């Protein structure tokens, strides 16, 4: 009897230990599974959401709306002073031979193109191709750059300017890509001072093909003549915050998370009547190196300028296989010197090369 009871207790004890061991084993397995899942989530999830995670991490670390300055366009104490005109200044080491006569004979449009001093071949290709059409339309192209150290290179560009009369060098800004905004403002200031008879002043990029006949059609729109900026506009573009990103801006340079509408840097144009206001506003805003955003976007937003959108714009790779695409696309980005010549001397452009500016302006219609 006692042996039977003892045996029963042993069985129950064994069963209890078995269940306990089984439970511990199951708990261990479950813990391992949970750990594996957590590790997998920690390792795999960021691979799919890296940009989002980095964006919000940066945003939460640095963005504090309480400490941001009041937006300038809401500041009623801001006073917009005119930029004084001073044609006889010494801010420019080299100057082009344009706008030197009576203002009534000044170009219709002056386009300043930031160039690097050593880019003589790129300038030559542009003069030979769409720059030739520009001259037919009373449009003048001016290549601009800042200061640099090489005396030999300076002698080369001075000789080039003696030959073509289309170079402008500012003595106030070092020639560098990240000084682009200051360089362009310096060029526009020269245009405001010297080309007061020009109806429009603008900026274009050296690696861009421009159908000047098409662009001029936009400049003839009634809205383009006053308080306007003309170009191909981008909307709701997020501000890049990571230093490794190409168009990176710090919060001090631009606190908003989204850029205002701005024209791509390949081309933007202002009427001469609004240029002094543009230059004055630039002196009162926090400048940064993205010239298209600052000059073409932030300043027009502050001045409440009319935005005139040139829709016929493309990257070269998007249209390269189309027949005679350069007649239908007015702004084509990423065109090298060789590609400009290939476009210009294509057989389909034979008639285009011989036509006058007035014929194109009269016949071209905007859809």
The mean pLDDT of 139-158, rounded to a whole number, is 98
The mean pLDDT of 50-76, rounded to a whole number, is 29
Higher-pLDDT residue of 91, 63: 91
Does position 80 have pLDDT exceeding 90, yes or no? no
- Per-residue confidence band for 353, with pLDDT thresholds at 50, 70 and 90: confident
Does position 93 have pLDDT exceeding 90, yes or no? yes
- Per-residue confidence band for 74, with pLDDT thresholds at 50, 70 and 90: very low
Give the 3-state secondary structure of the chain: CHHHHHHHHHHHHHHHHHHHHHHHHHHHHHHHHHHHHHHHHHHHHHHHHHHHHHHHHHHHHHCCCCCCCCCHHHCCCCCCCCCCCCCCCCCEEECCCCCCCCHHHCCCEEEEEECCCCCHHHHHHHHHCHHHHHHHCCEEEEEEEEECCCHHHHHHHHHHHHHHCCEEEEEEEECCHHHHHHHHHHHHHHHHHHCCCCCEEEEECCCEEECHHHHHHHHCCHHHHCCEEEEEEECCCECECCCCCCCECCCCCCCCCECCCEEEEEEEEEEHHHHHHHHHHHCCCCCCCCHHHHHHHHHHHHHCCEEEECCCEEEHHHHCCCCCHHHCCCEEECCCHHHHHHHHCCHHHHHHHHCCHHHHHHHCCCC
Q: What is the pLDDT of residue 356?
A: 77
Does position 367 have pLDDT exceeding 60, yes or no? no
Q: What is the pLDDT of residue 350?
A: 87
Q: What is the pLDDT of residue 351?
A: 83
Q: What is the pLDDT of residue 37?
A: 56
The mean pLDDT of 56-68, rounded to a whole number, is 25
The mean pLDDT of 47-66, rounded to a whole number, is 30
Does position 41 have pLDDT exceeding 80, yes or no? no
Higher-pLDDT residue of 77, 256: 256
The mean pLDDT of 50-74, rounded to a whole number, is 29
Does position 20 have pLDDT exceeding 60, yes or no? no
Q: What is the pLDDT of residue 345?
A: 94
The mean pLDDT of 3-20, rounded to a whole number, is 46
Does position 222 have pLDDT exceeding 70, yes or no? yes
Domains and CATH numbers, the chain: 92-362 (3.90.550.10)
Percent of the chain at pLDDT > 70 equals 73
Higher-pLDDT residue of 131, 62: 131
Please, what is the average pLDDT of the chain?
81
């Amino acid at each position: 009897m006692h042996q039977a009871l003892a045996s029963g207790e042993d069985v129950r004890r064994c069963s209890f230990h078995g269940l306990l061991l089984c439970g511990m084993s199951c708990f261990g397995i479950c813990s391992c599974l949970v750990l594996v899942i957590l590790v997998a989530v920690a390792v795999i999830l960021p691979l799919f959401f890296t940009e989002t995670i980095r964006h919000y991490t940066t945003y939460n670390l640095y963005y504090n709306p309480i400490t941001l300055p009041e937006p300038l366009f809401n500041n009623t104490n801001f006073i917009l002073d005119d930029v004084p005109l001073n044609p006889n200044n010494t801010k420019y080491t080299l100057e082009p031979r344009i706008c030197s006569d009576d203002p009534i004979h000044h170009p219709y449009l002056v386009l300043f193109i930031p160039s690097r001093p050593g880019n003589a071949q790129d300038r030559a290709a542009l003069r030979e191709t769409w720059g030739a059409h520009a001259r037919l339309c009373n449009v003048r192209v001016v290549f601009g750059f800042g200061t640099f150290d090489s005396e030999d290179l300076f002698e080369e560009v001075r000789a080039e300017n003696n030959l073509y009369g289309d170079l402008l060098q500012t003595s106030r800004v070092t020639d560098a890509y990240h000084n682009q905004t200051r360089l362009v403002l310096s060029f526009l200031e020269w245009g405001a001072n010297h080309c007061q008879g020009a109806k429009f002043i603008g900026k274009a990029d050296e690696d861009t093909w421009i159908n000047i006949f098409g662009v001029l059609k936009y400049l003839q729109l009634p809205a383009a003549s006053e308080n306007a900026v003309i170009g191909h506009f981008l909307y709701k573009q997020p501000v890049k915050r990571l230093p490794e990103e190409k168009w990176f801006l710090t919060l001090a340079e631009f606190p908003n998370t989204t850029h205002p509408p701005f024209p791509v840097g390949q081309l933007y144009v202002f009427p001469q009547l609004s240029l002094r206001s543009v230059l004055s506003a630039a002196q009162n805003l926090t400048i940064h190196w993205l010239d298209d955003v600052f000059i073409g976007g932030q300043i027009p937003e502050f001045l409440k300028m009319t935005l005139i959108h040139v829709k016929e714009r493309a990257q070269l790779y998007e249209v390269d296989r189309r027949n005679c695409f350069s007649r239908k696309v007015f702004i084509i980005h990423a065109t090298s010197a060789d590609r400009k010549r290939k476009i210009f001397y294509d057989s389909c452009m034979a008639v285009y090369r011989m036509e006058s500016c007035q014929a194109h302006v009269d016949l071209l219609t905007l859809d």
